[in-house]
Amino acid sequence: MKIIERIAEFHDDLMNWRRDIHAHPELGFEERRTSDLVAQKLAEFGCEVFRGIGRTGVVGRLRAGTSVRSIGLRADMDALPIQEATNLPYRSRHDGRMHACGHDGHTTMLLGAARYLAEARNFDGTVHFIFQPAEEGLGGGDAMVKDGLFERFPCDAIFGMHNRPGLAVGKFQIRTGPMMAGGAYFDIAVTGRGAHGARPEAGIDPVLVASHITTALQSIVSRNVRPLDTAVLSVTQIHAGDAYNVIPEQAVMRGTVRAFSSETMMLIEQNIGRIASGVAAGFGATAELDFRLIFPPLVNDADEAGFIADTAADLVGEDNVNRNGNLVMASEDFSYMLDRRPGAYIQIGNGDGAGSCEVHNPGYDFNDAALSLGASLFARLAERKLPAT
């Protein structure tokens, strides 16, 4: 591996930063300590620092030479509402919060790239280090874009990276075009008529209606979506009632939809509404749908996907870069940024050892062995995209 020698020299610093962030996880739009740490480090490196972009987001700006060319490098900072179940010495100090997706590692890799680039200045143009809040379903990427991210910090291209458990350290994978699914959340409020649990004939049971709607919704992907257009619809919650002997007035259903095109997402939304209202009407009840798009599909620009894959191959060798990686049903709100600027998103191997279970798992841990490699990729992207003359 061609890890940048200078970055390899301060690997222990990267590891310590990462473990400190891991021990102090913060949920979306609450990343105050993390933002403070990021801003402090960027300032120490010699970057211009801008705070409050998308509420708790941070952007560092680094200029070298005279070129007007620019690049954006992005990492996410937030944690998840999960109780950590590891015995690590740096495990979460906050009950119910955990870095179970590796954002502690992503933030650290980008800080490592910033430190190296600020020292080496081996580029001609402007690098924007974008530290995004609230990736986990709260719309931090959208918030930064709406807060004028690209008007204030122009980027000719933008790049992001995410760890991949099960993929060996030293390997990368990516694909051109749609790579990660768009995501939506939905709520269905089913209203019936309350009654005594021993006299169901006097009421209209919303629990029964919600159960039938749940079953009927499973027909959408199998019978309304084209087999070639991958999609997922999952009802994940049904809430109703407070007593053993009362048929409640209302039941609330909640769930998520994932698809790789806006057209498929719209099709699913229309059919959820049609089925929910139709099934409810058949029982004499009503159903109201609230459908919310949380993430657009993440689509990699062909040229920039090739560029980041070439850069990764220069680091680890072509045999260690999969340019035709699998479609990912999970969502990622870096998609909001890719909707505005050409760019690409790559997966970096997190290995398959201890802690490398799937993300969003209470036993997960980011693999420190990937830190220098990820920082080197971020740094090389800037040096290759903005070559010094």
Domain ranges in the chain? 5-180+297-385, 182-295
Q: Which residues contact 242 (CB under 8 A, 6 or more apart)?
A: 248
pLDDT digits (tens, 9 = 90+) for 166-213: 999 999 999 999 999 999 999 999 999 999 999 999 999 999 999 999
Q: Is it the case that residue 18 has pLDDT exceeding 90? A: yes
pLDDT digits (tens, 9 = 90+) for 31-60: 999 999 999 999 999 999 999 999 999 999
Positive or negative torsion for Cα 282, 287, 293, 294: negative
Give 3-state DSSP helix, strand, coil % of the chain, rounded to 5: 35, 25, 35
pLDDT (mean) for 363-369: 96
Q: Phi/psi at 161 (nearest 5 deg)?
A: -150, 145
Structure tokens belonging to residue 135: 């990736």
Q: Is it the case that residue 350 has pLDDT exceeding 80? A: yes
Q: Is it the case that residue 356 has pLDDT exceeding 90? A: no
Residues 110, 41 contacting (CB under 8 angstroms)? no
Positive or negative torsion for Cα 156, 161, 167, 171: positive
User: What number does CATH give the domain 5-180+297-385?
Assistant: 3.40.630.10
pLDDT digits (tens, 9 = 90+) for 238-287: 999 999 999 999 999 999 999 999 899 999 999 999 999 999 999 999 99
What are the start-end ranges of the E strands in 192-248? 195-196, 231-240, 246-247
- Domain 182-295 CATH class label: alpha beta
pLDDT at 185: 95
Q: Is it the case that residue 355 has pLDDT exceeding 70? A: no
pLDDT at 357: 87
Coil vs helix vs strand at 96: coil
DSSP string for residues in 335-367: HHHHTTS-EEEEEEE--SSTT-S-SS-TT----
Nearest to 365 by CA among 75, 119, 21: 21
Q: Which residues are 260's β-sheet partners?
A: none
Residues 281, 351 contacting (CB under 8 angstroms)? no
User: What's the pTM?
Assistant: 0.92
Burial class (CB in 10 A: 0-12, 13-18, 19+), 320: middle
Coil vs helix vs strand at 98: strand
pLDDT at 189: 98
Rg (CA), the chain: 23
Q: Which residues contact 324 (CB under 8 A, 6 or more apart)?
A: 175
pLDDT at 352: 85
Percentage of the chain modeled with pLDDT above 90? 96
Q: Is it the case that residue 84 has pLDDT exceeding 80? A: yes
CA 235 from chain centre, in angstroms, equals 21
pLDDT at 274: 98
CA 272 to CA 213: how far, in whole Å? Answer: 9
The chain-wide mean pLDDT, for the chain, equals: 96
pLDDT at 354: 67
Residues 161, 345 contacting (CB under 8 angstroms)? yes
pLDDT digits (tens, 9 = 90+) for 273-323: 999 999 999 999 999 999 999 999 999 999 999 999 999 999 999 999 999
Q: Which residues contact 12 (CB under 8 A, 6 or more apart)?
A: none
